[in-house]
Every structure is written in C-alpha cells, then in structure tokens.
Structure 1
Amino acid sequence: MSTAIWPHVAAEELSRVQDLSLANELKWLLDALQDTLKSLKAGLEECAYLLAPTEHGSTLVVSSHRSESLKGFITRVGTRIVKGDIKLRLASLPIPKAYTSYPLAVSSAPHAPPLVLEQLTAARTLINACLDVVDASTWAGDSGDPHFISGQMRLLDVNIHEAKAALKGGADSEASTWWSSLIDENTFDPPLPSNLSFHLSILDAAVLLEVRTLELVTSTTPDHHSAFSFRDRVAVALGASKAQPHDEMGAVFVYKGQKVTVREKLRVESQDPNLMAAMAKLNALERSVALGRKALDMVMEKDD
C-alpha cells in the first residue's frame, strides 16, 4: 500500500512548501529559544548570587568523625575563607605549651595573604561568561540567525559544564593536588608550621579540608611500611591485611621543592548549602540548554 497526495502536487511545489514549513518551524523555534534564554539568565543570576560574597558569609563546621583530632569552623565569603579557628591533635604535631591542642587560626590582619578557593573563582568566572553569552544572544547578535544562536547555545553548554566540573572537583581536578596548591604560611596567625600542609578544595559541592604532617625524605628516613608492632607482623603472617594509617602512606611527594612523605593525614568534608543549591541549578540549566540545542539541530537538519 502506498500513500498518494490528492490532488497531485508537482515535485517543485512540494519542495517549496516543505522548505516554507521548515522555515516557519525554525522561526518559531528561534522565538521560543529567546524565552529559554530569558529563563537561563534568571537561573544563572541565581547561581551567581549563591557564589557571591554576602555580609555574613557561610560558617561551616569542620570536625573529624569519632575523634578529637580536628575540631573547628571556617567562614566562607564568596570565594574566600575569611575566618577560621581549628584545633588539631596529631601525634606528629607537638602541641605548644599552655595549649591542649595545636591552634590554627586564619589571620585577620589586613596584610595577611587571602585564602582563596580557586574552584569557586573559576565557577563564578564561567557563570559570568554565560551571562555575557545570553546578553549577546539577546541584544548584540542576530537572534534570527540559527547558526549564530546555535553557536551561542554551544558556548553556554561548554561554560555550564565547566562550571559544574569546578564545583564537582575530584581526583582529576588540579585543585586536588595538595603538593602544588600551596598556601602562604602567613595566611595563619601564628604562621603555619613548615611540616604542616593545609589544603582546601571543593568536592561534590562540599568544602573538603585535608591536613597533613610531613617528613623530609633523607637517606635515614625510616621505612614506614616496616614500622609494625610484633602483633601487626604476626597478624600479617597469618594472612590478615596490612593496616595502613592513611592512603598516602609510603608515597613520596615534591612539596615546596623538597621530597616529603605524609606521616599523618586528616580529611574532613563540610556540606555548604549554597554550593549544593548552585550545583543543582547548574544541572537543571545544563539540561535546558541540551534540549534547546537538540531541537535546533533537528530543525536545522544537522547530523547527530
């Protein structure tokens, strides 16, 4: 069975009508995408607000689970940590006299180097770039040019994806390399000890704090892998797994130009509601952009 058009339409006329229909559909879609761009701008402005400095900032508790090894708080204002009061109890970090724990306090002195979360700086920059793209798509360029709008939607897709990646963090992020992401010791008052690494990053929209005590690698550095008690050695001989104090035990890192090993390591995550909300909004915005791009590609008859 075949389908025929009645009355008969000439091939040229049919092609003209099809082209006209496609052109009308494309015009309708471009008009609809202007409304989408307005919604995207509102969502991006909300994300920018969540990452912007506020009067009081976000005060986050940082505390080690089931131990007194690390207790305290930090206050984030925009991309900076402006306050911090942390107490450490580590076997490899001597406690000063008259103290019950080692104090770490972010300096409030005007000349103190700032403690900046570079991932948040990157995310804010990318979100602002998205807002510029939306404004250019609405006011500066030809909103009726499908190729122009397609390029702008692609820029939005890339920038939103990278902003999400900055808030996601993880092992592939440059911010995760604590040995190269150095903090000026004068950021703290008193200054950070030379054998202590203090590292802040963003992981899954949470603030991740890692504290490490370090030891220089020399020819006389003991092999920590062999530093087991008699009971540990017997347990290993009987088939038990070899206990590790932390996941970087025995690894050698280059820190401030010197080879070091990590003696003790603490890792604490603190959920930040504003960062979590920004991540959720970016996820929704990314889906909206993807749907707009897909619809435009289909009407423009682009290959998938």
Structure 2
Amino acid sequence: MSTAVWPPIPPDQLLQEEAASQTRELEWLLGELQETLQALKAGLEECAALLAPSEFGATLVLSTVKSETLKGFITREGTRIVKGDVKLRVPSLPPPRGSATYDLTISTLPSSPTLTVPQLVSARTLINTCLDIIDVSTWTGDAMNANFISGQLRLLHDNLQEARHNLKGSPDVIPEWNETSVLPNIFTPPLPANVAFHLYVSDAAILVEIRTLEPAPEEPQSGFSLRGTLAAALGSSRVPLHDEVHRTFEYRHQKVCVKEKVRVESQDPSLISAMAKLSALEHTVSRGRLALSIVMDDVD
C-alpha cells in the first residue's frame, strides 16, 4: 500500500514523518497488548481453577459400550485420581469365588501411593508458567520495549500450545502403557502381576485401558503364534480381539503379550472447558504476535 502527502514534502522529511508515525503506532499497540495480557491472565486463572482440586472432585462414570465387560467410576481431584472402583468381566481374569466380577478398587489409605495424571500435572505447570510470563511482561520487564514483549508473547504462545496438547492428548505427550502403568499397590488389594492399568487424557477425556498379560513366546514366528499361523493356513477369518494381539512388549523387565484389552473413555466437563479456553487464549496470543510483527516490520 502506498501513501501520498499533499502538499508534497521533501523525501527526507517524509521518511522522518513515516518513522514518527510508526513509532506512535508501535507505542499504541504495546499499550493495547498490556490490556490484552491482563485479559489473558484472567482466562489463564480460569483454566488453572478448572484443573485445581475442588471440594467434592469430579466423579466420572466408566462403562464399556453395549457390554458388561467393565463398569465403574473414578473421582478426579485436580491432577489426581483419589477414588475409583472398577468391576471387570474378562475370561482371562476370573473373579474370586462367590463374586460375579473382578473388582479393582483404588486404595484410600494414607500410606498408598498417589495416582497422578502426568498430562494434567504438565498442563497445570505450563498454565502457571504462562501466568508468570504475564507478570514478568507487566511488572518486571520493559512493557514498552517491542523486542522484549515480542519474546514474551512467543514464550506465552509456546507454553499455551503445549498445555493444550497435554489436554488434547497429542501423540508426543501420551505415555506408553508398558512404561507408565499404574503401580499395583495403588489398588487394594494390589493388582495381580498379569494386569496392567493405564490411565491418560485424550481429547479432554479420561481414558482407562486395562490389559491382561501373558509371557511372550521365546521364539515368536514373525510376531504370530503357532496357533495363529495354523489358523491362517486353514483359512480362518477370525477377527483379532484387540489391536495388540500380535505384538510383544517389554513390561517390568519381562517380555509379555497382551491377552485381553479393555478400553473405556469418560468425558470430563472441566477438562473440555479448559481445553476450549486454552485454544481461545492461544488464538488471541497469535493475533497479538502477528500485529506486533507487522508494526515492527518483522513479518517473514
């Protein structure tokens, strides 16, 4: 876009006027960004509150669709799961005598380990980091220094994005089940050695995966058992029971196969709200960064 000045002024004076105009525009924008930062702080405090422990916690129902394989609930308080009772019906985990289900109950004893959700811990830490960045941008650093504010907005955007990824459950933040399964003594009675309980966040929902395990064959034939190979040769079209049926995993220093796998999802309204707010805040910061880059003539 070109500009014209009438009556015409000398080129040197025109350059001075353009520079002065850009300086005034930059000062105005930096002032507006301070107001934006305060609005962002209020939004981040709302997100932090959604991930903070509440008086009664959030009780989430767990249930497999169209089956009685798994029924139960968990209670989330902030970044921790403080209660939980799951009733499981799978052939590879027979229930105790006199019971119709195998019950997995999270221990409430003070001596029991705490069941934390690493993605929620990370998201909450990143949100607190964002709040610190805003405080530094407002009170400690030079609020009218464009380069300083540009760097602070970049840090803010990166931390917001990472916090949202933790609630979204991006592939790089979801832990592998065989590396981060819940400790057996978190439950009462403790989990059997052949059961792995995995809990994580995906699309702002709590997902629970329970696997029953068996030792891996010493010499697997290209990942398939001898029974599976014979079945294929005979033309069997049996559908695998789960997506890990032909895989071998290293679990607690042993090679194992997954015999049965149950996966359930429970929507968490607080996490859904927090992720939506983080997305909106991230968009606001992106707009502020773009506006500042344009005025600073720093657009790639």
TM-score, normalised by the number of residues in structure 2: 0.94
Please tell me the residue identity of whatever aligns with 1:279.
M
How far the C-alpha of 1:187 sits from its partner, in A, is 0.2
Match of 1:81 in 2: 81
Mapped to 1, the partners of 2:70 and 2:242 lie a distance apart of 16
Which structure 2 residue ranges, 5 or more long, are not aligned?
none
Mapped to 2, the partners of 1:52 and 1:287 lie a distance apart of 24
Counterparts in 2 of 1:165-180, with a 5 A limit?
165-175=165-175, 177-180=176-179
Counterparts in 2 of 1:121-200, with a 5 A limit?
121-175=121-175, 177-200=176-199
CA contact (8 A) 1:169 1:204 kept: yes
Match of 2:295 in 1: 299
CA contact (8 A) 2:214 2:257 kept: yes
* CA shift in 2, pair 1:51/1:10, >3 Å: same
Mapped to 1, the partners of 2:233 and 2:81 lie a distance apart of 42
- The answer as to 2:25 corresponding to 1:25 is yes
CA contact (8 A) 1:224 1:249 kept: no
How far the C-alpha of 1:217 sits from its partner, in A, is 1.4
CA contact (8 A) 2:174 2:201 kept: no
Mapped to 1, the partners of 2:149 and 2:250 lie a distance apart of 47
Mapped to 2, the partners of 1:190 and 1:266 lie a distance apart of 20
Residue from 265, 286, 289 that aligns with 1:290: 286
How far the C-alpha of 1:65 sits from its partner, in A, is 0.7
Match of 2:107 in 1: 107
Mapped to 1, the partners of 2:162 and 2:102 lie a distance apart of 38
Match of 2:247 in 1: 251
Deviation per CA, 1:137-189: give whole Å up to 9, x if none. Answer: 111111010011101100100000000011111433342x0000132111000
CA contact (8 A) 1:225 1:250 kept: no
SS at match of 1:179: helix
Deviation per CA, 1:237-266: give whole Å up to 9, x if none. Answer: xxxxx5111000110000001000001001
How far the C-alpha of 1:98 sits from its partner, in A, is 1.8
Match of 2:37 in 1: 37
Match of 1:13 in 2: 13
- The answer as to 2:92 corresponding to 1:96 is no
Which structure 1 residue ranges, 5 or more long, are not aligned?
237-241
Aligned residues: 297
Identity among equivalent positions (%) equals: 51
Residue from 241, 256, 261 that aligns with 1:260: 256
Deviation per CA, 1:255-294: give whole Å up to 9, x if none. Answer: 0010000010011010000000000000100000000000
CA contact (8 A) 1:80 1:115 kept: yes
Please tell me the residue identity of whatever aligns with 1:155.
L
Please tell me the residue identity of whatever aligns with 1:58.
A
SS at match of 1:55: coil
* CA shift in 2, pair 1:118/1:10, >3 Å: same
CA RMSD of aligned residues (A): 2.1
Mapped to 2, the partners of 1:281 and 1:291 lie a distance apart of 16
Mapped to 1, the partners of 2:226 and 2:115 lie a distance apart of 35
Deviation per CA, 1:174-207: give whole Å up to 9, x if none. Answer: 42x0000132111000001100000000001000
